[in-house]
Amino acid sequence: MEKTQDDILMKARSYRGITTSALRLYTASFRRIFKATWLFAFLYSMIVSVLGTLLTTKLLPIMLQIAALPQYKWLIAQEHLPLIIAFLIFFILGLVVFLLICGIVAGKLKEHQDTNLITTPLRWFAKPTFLRPFRSMLKAAGRHWLLTLGILLVALVILVPICLFACLPAIILTVAAVQAHIGTLMGDPFGMPTYIEYLAAGTWFLAAFLQVYILMSLLFVGYYAYGSAETQKKEREEQKLNIQ
């Protein structure tokens, strides 16, 4: 995608201008980003699907038992230790895959900065570049923390409702599972269908896949925030030299 005047990175922008430019670039290059990341996004969603299924069908009863019988919490946890360890392993794997996706997208943003283009890699397993783009963005965020905080607040105000809407089926299923498990502790029959595991797996998979691409827009916001912060810094330095 060719860079227009509005897409120039090194340009001072307001909070609204940063968010608008970021979302415009993200939507315009979404197809290329999707082609570069969909395999990792699929793997991440599979891992979250396993995590969500374990949480909904196995871990919620354990947590409710611990809440109802706190004096036996260590005994209950020890009894289900393999399940807890498996959950933690899948959680770490999911985090690693999510960081891989972020690395690929950060590499695409670095490519946009260097070549004015975002292209689709020839191989799905293109080497992700973590440190260079993230290091520059984090340094700029630290120097201009007030601007960074304001931009994050604006972006979160936009993205949080979208994320909640995308995750609404998973939230509803989890709340229903909590109520059903509470009922079983009180002597009522389990009120969830027998295919709850399949339902939970599909629901969490869809929610995770959608949320990956919603959250990736934050990297584009950070990209333009970095450009704006660096431009403002350069302008202040030039003003100081002119005064001297």
- Report whether pLDDT(46) > 90: yes
pTM across the whole model: 0.80
Distances (CA, A) of 200 to 42, 166, 174, 191, 207: 16, 15, 9, 15, 11
- b/e per residue 137-149 (b: at least 16 CB within 10 A): beebbeebeebbe
Min mean pLDDT across 73-82, 211-220, 228-237 is at 228-237
Residue-wise pLDDT tens digits, 155-187: 778 778 888 888 888 888 888 888 777 777 666
Residue type, 240: K
Count of all residues that appear for the chain in the document: 244
- Report whether pLDDT(125) > 50: no
Q: Take residue 143 and report the two structure tokens written for it.
A: 């120097």
- Per-residue pLDDT, 209: 95
pLDDT band with cut points at 50, 70 and 90 for residue 134: low
- Report whether pLDDT(242) > 70: no
- Report whether pLDDT(50) > 90: yes
Q: Take residue 47 and report the two structure tokens written for it.
A: 């891992």
The three-class DSSP label of residue 29 is coil
Mean pLDDT, residues 55-65: 84
Distance CA 74, CA 228 (A): 51
- Report whether pLDDT(61) > 80: yes
pLDDT band with cut points at 50, 70 and 90 for residue 219: confident
Average pLDDT, the chain: 79
Closest CA to 140 of 131, 148, 152, 132: 148
Residue-wise pLDDT tens digits, 2-22: 455 556 776 767 777 788 888
Residue-wise pLDDT tens digits, 66-117: 887 788 788 888 888 889 899 999 999 999 999 889 888 888 887 777 776 7
